[in-house]
Amino acid sequence: MNFEKARFNMVEQQIRPWEVLDQNVLDLLMTVKREEYVPASARALAFADVEIPIGCGQVMLKPVIEGKVLQALQLNKSDSVLEIGSGSGFFAALLAARCEWVRTMEIEPELVKLASANLARNGVENVVVAQGDGIDGWAERAPYDAIVVSGGLQYVPQALLEQLKVGGRLFAFVGEAPVMKARLVTCEAEGRFRTEDLFETVVPMLKNAPRHDRFSF
């Protein structure tokens, strides 16, 4: 398989037509090698417009979704980022290529090992992978410039919002199948947040995602 041609086609035929036009994001998706984070049995699907199962009921998100999230976050080189749900480590690698530090939390021990091994093998040194339920964030290392929740939630927990810096952005998939909102929440001032729903999609729910409606944003 010609990975470079497949990567180019992914960017030009899937991601760019879906209104991901930030050249920094497109360059990033051309640079970070997606095939290195895909299970060996699914390597031929590394650049396909599909979710790729990685075990424990979790998936690698479609490339177009990854591109949309990166574009929405508007990351800077000095940013400190928290990711909830490490998966295969690929999205953490994308974040790490744009930021100073990424801390990623994963509840499944098997996926902690997978993400850690993939990141180490690819020489990514500015990511810390931690095992744990990230639904309440990682307060000891807060505040963050950006927080990304990689699985679905019924609502965004207040604890995560409180760990954003002023000017910080949180991205999450909010709702339930058949329709979830891809939501960007920006901390405009202490305790004041602006919410924008960018597009609709469906992703697997985050394990242990809270189920009541308090603190909805």
Structure tokens belonging to residue 33: 């090698």
- The predicted structure's pLDDT at residue 208: 76
Report whether 52 contacts 61 (CB < 8 A): no
How confident is the prediction along the chain (217 residues), in pLDDT tens digits per residue?
899 999 999 999 999 999 999 999 999 999 999 999 999 999 999 999 999 999 998 999 999 999 999 999 999 999 999 999 999 999 999 999 999 999 999 999 999 999 999 999 999 999 999 999 999 999 999 999 999 999 999 999 999 999 999 999 999 999 998 999 999 999 999 999 999 999 999 999 988 777 765 444 4
Distance of CA 107 to the CA centre of its chain: 15
pLDDT at 215: 46
What's the CA gap between 73 and 171, in Å, rounded? Answer: 7
User: pTM value?
Assistant: 0.94
Q: Can you list the alpha helix ranges (DSSP code H) found in 158-215? A: 158-161
Mapped onto helix, strand or coil, the DSSP state of residue 203 is: coil
Q: What is the pLDDT of residue 212?
A: 62
Going by C-alpha positions, the residue among 213, 175, 215 that lies closest to residue 193 is: 215
Cβ pair 77, 126 in contact under 8 A: no
User: Hey, what domains does the chain have and what are their CATH numbers?
Assistant: 3-201 (3.40.50.150)
**Taking a C-beta distance cutoff of 8 angstroms, is the pair 168, 197 a contact?**
no
Q: Considering just the CA atoms, what is the radius of gyration of the chain in Å?
A: 16
Say what the pLDDT of residue 217 is.
46
